[in-house]
Amino acid sequence: MMTEPAWKKYLTDYNEGLGVVYERFVLNDYLDRLVDEHGVRTVLEAPLYGMAGVSGINSVRLAQRGCDVTLVDWEDERLNGVTRIWRELNLPARFVLHSDFAHLPFEDDTFDLAWEWAGLWYLPDAESLLRELVRVSRKLVFVAMPNNLQVGYLMRKYLIDRPFFDTVDERWVQMRRIKQVLRGAGVRFIDQGVLDVPPWPDTVMPAAEVLKRLGIRSKKLNAQFTGDGWSWSTMAYYLGQEPDLRDRVMKYAWLDRAPVPWQLKLIWAHHRYVLGTVASDG
């Protein structure tokens, strides 16, 4: 019997887990910096699918800041769900169903920012997508992928979720490869590093499920990570239902904010990223 993909669940169930909510808030802080420092006004996120949890809300913070947001997805059912979610948030965006990520349906130099988060390894031709992000951007290209050096990634790959890695192209977690393609397309790098460095490993699954797959059977531990008291929803924050959520979550951001070289955080950081300007940016 085939298992439904996780993204279907999260189109209606907004309980993403603490790790994903934390990831979103850290990412939002970085997106705020891009808007403030580079005057970003028009945004393309392609593909919109990459981060765990609720699909299609990575660019919500940019829309809240007044940016004109365009989101591209290859899955019709998911895009319809994302469109409904953005209506629920009462935020404008353009939603484009498009499967050929080697040829995006936009003119050259259309967007101030073209970006993707953790989606490259799902694509049949990620290299062409990277070149397309450069082509359609007139200012910035921002790319982030899971960090294959961190503890949780290795746990997931070798202990708790081996089949997943048969479904993705792991070459695209190599930042060196990503930078090589972007550099060849004319990108000049202005920032790189790590984001999403909380004090827990990134296994991309609920803590209770991790314990189960590791064979740890403890009612006390399981109770800590299940039930109504263990509900974490970025949507609840965006909808004004949990206005204190960011404060509760970001108390764990001390390592993200630590003023040490990012290379020292690599063993624990969940994502690596690179930011560059395109040639048309002068």
pLDDT, tens digit (0-9, with 9 covering 90-100), for 187-196 = 999 999 999 9
Question: What value does the mean pLDDT take over residues 54-62?
Answer: 98
88-92, 225-229, 257-261: least confident range: 225-229
User: Which residues, including other chains, have CB under 8 Å from residue 59's CB and lie 6 or more apart?
Assistant: 31, 43, 45, 48, 67, 69, 71, 93
DSSP string covering the chain: -PPPPHHHHTTT-----HHHHHHHHHHHHHHHHHHHHH---EEEESS---SSSSTT-TTHHHHHTT-EEEEEES-HHHHHHHHHHHHHTT---EEEE---TTS-SS-TT-EEEEEEES-GGGSTTHHHHHHHHHHHEEEEEEEEEE-TTSHHHHHIIIII-GGGGGSS-GGGG-HHHHHHHHHHTT-EEEEEEEE---SS---SS-HHHHHHHTT---HHHHHHTSSTTS---HHHHHTTS-TTHHHHHGGGTHHHH-SS-GGGGTTT-SEEEEEEE-GGG-
**Distance separating alpha carbons of residues 49 and 29, to the nearest angstrom:** 20
pTM (2 d.p.): 0.91
Question: What value does the mean pLDDT take over residues 99-127?
Answer: 97
> Model confidence at 203, in pLDDT bands (50, 70, 90)?
low
> Model confidence at 215, in pLDDT bands (50, 70, 90)?
low
Amino acid found at 132: E
Q: Whole-number mean pLDDT of the chain?
A: 90
CATH topology of domain 6-148+169-199+230-281: Rossmann fold (3.40.50)
